[in-house]
Amino acid sequence: MLVYRNTQEGIPPEESVSLSQLSHLPFVLMSDESVLHNLCVRQFHRENFHPSVIYTAARHRYLLSLVNSGLGVTILPKALVNTNLFPELCCKDLRGGMESLIGVVRLKHAHLSAGAEHLYEFFAQQGILTQEP
């Protein structure tokens, strides 16, 4: 999801945008040790997009404050965008969205904590898990 301040100039009017439409905008991204940073970089590479990254931040709330101050735009999952805390922020869907894969390995005779067991059961209920022989 593209996140930008409501006064940011150069945002296309469409409800969803492509990266190529954003080439003239400054970006602030999660720092390079972040999974989100790596997702963005892979998507940039797939689309041959070379953004002007002017700042990186280790915490998404700090990143949102930078965008809120008008420093640039960012890409984050919608669940991380708090418009109650930052009411000037707006979001648009990105065309050709990004996705990530998750792998779950469970040893046959290993004990899981209650939290890990709960997460495993959730994945199983959602049909996310496949069982290998």
Q: Quick: pLDDT tens for 10-45.
A: 999 999 999 999 999 999 999 999 989 999 999 999
pLDDT attached to residue 108: 82
128 Cβ contact partners less than 8 Å away, ≥ 6 residues apart = 102, 104
Q: 46 in helix, strand or coil?
A: helix
What per-residue confidence (pLDDT) applies to 37?
A: 92
What CA–CA distance (Å, rounded) separates 9 from 22?
11
Which pLDDT belongs to residue 131? 64
Structure tokens that stand for 84 in this block: 């109650």
Which stretches of the chain score pLDDT less than 70? 102, 130-133
